[in-house]
């Protein structure tokens, strides 16, 4: 585990967030502690319109969710010190990135080239959400092909896995490739930023049973270090794991199935 902050984290950086809130969950400390705010850029890829899911039967939507989430992200990034002029919202349909292929690659690489960051931050290769995986694979493929020069780092939105013995996928990565930023006083800013995402931290729809982001999750991510895996094209996929090379990819497939099953049970058990 590397606790020192790599010098390139203080250069021009670009955080690519598939949805509003990913930037605060995975990179809130990174952005809040950047020494030059004008060098911190954020690209939000989708319109965030599918989280939370509208309950069935659909209660009338009080406010357009995409517009609400856009403003929440702008408020959160203001807390983290990112200038409004450094925020780009691509507005692609939430949940659609996996099938976009070349269109997504063209969109992301053109923004990366225009901003010309020294580092690009993308979700972890074994993330749980298909949009997150699509962003990871698109940017890592472009890096491997030599289409982008920036160093690529993977950040963590979902790190807690029930099917791993330690419960945390970050424990399975090579310590020398994993950089951790301790929360310090910036943990408070990260929490304030996350609280701007009220559609995720509270129940947005009438009849919604639980917020998308639980209070327990918020407590944990604000108290623990943020981790970043340096992407090396020679150690792609499971070759980038320090241990669990056979099990982690299997658990990655099974874990979401278990979660859906558990969510369904909880929904059925709710009054």
Nearer to Zn ion, 12 or 156 (CB): 156
Minimal distance in Å, beta carbon 14 to Zn ion?
Answer: 17
Nearer to Zn ion, 22 or 154 (CB): 22
Minimal distance in Å, beta carbon 26 to Zn ion?
Answer: 9
Residue nearest to Zn ion (CB): 19
Minimal distance in Å, beta carbon 229 to Zn ion?
Answer: 17
Which residues of this protein are in contact with Zn ion, per CB under 5 A? 18-19, 22
Minimal distance in Å, beta carbon 48 to Zn ion?
Answer: 8
25, with CB counted inside 10 A (0-12, 13-18, 19+), is buried
Nearer to Zn ion, 22 or 255 (CB): 22
Minimal distance in Å, beta carbon 205 to Zn ion?
Answer: 18
Residues in the chain: 271
Nearer to Zn ion, 22 or 47 (CB): 22
40, with CB counted inside 10 A (0-12, 13-18, 19+), is buried
């Amino acid at each position: 585990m590397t606790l020192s902050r790599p010098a390139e984290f203080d250069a021009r950086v670009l955080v690519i967030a598939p949805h509003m809130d990913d930037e605060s969950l995975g990179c809130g400390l990174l952005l809040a502690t950047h020494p030059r705010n004008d060098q911190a850029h954020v690209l939000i890829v989708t319109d965030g319109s599918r989280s939370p899911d509208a309950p069935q039967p659909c209660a009338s939507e009080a406010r357009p969710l995409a517009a609400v989430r856009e403003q929440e992200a702008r408020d959160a990034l203001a807390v983290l010190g990112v200038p409004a002029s450094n925020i780009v919202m691509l507005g692609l349909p939430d949940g659609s990135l996996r099938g976009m292929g070349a269109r997504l690659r063209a969109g992301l690489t053109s923004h990366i080239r225009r901003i010309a960051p020294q580092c690009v931050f993308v979700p972890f290769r074994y993330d749980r959400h298909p949009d997150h995986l699509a962003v990871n694979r698109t940017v890592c493929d472009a890096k491997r092909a030599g289409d982008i020069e920036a160093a690529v780092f993977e950040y963590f939105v979902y790190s807690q896995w029930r099917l791993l013995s330690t419960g945390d996928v970050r424990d399975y990565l090579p310590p020398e490739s994993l950089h951790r930023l301790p929360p310090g006083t910036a943990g408070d800013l990260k929490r304030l930023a996350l609280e701007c995402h009220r559609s995720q931290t509270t129940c947005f729809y009438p009849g919604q049973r639980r917020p998308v982001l639980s209070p327990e999750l918020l407590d944990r991510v604000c108290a623990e270090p943020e981790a970043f895996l340096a992407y090396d094209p020679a150690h792609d996929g499971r070759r980038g794991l320090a241990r669990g090379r056979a099990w982690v990819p299997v658990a990655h497939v099974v874990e979401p199935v278990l979660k859906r099953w558990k969510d369904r049970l909880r929904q059925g058990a709710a009054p």
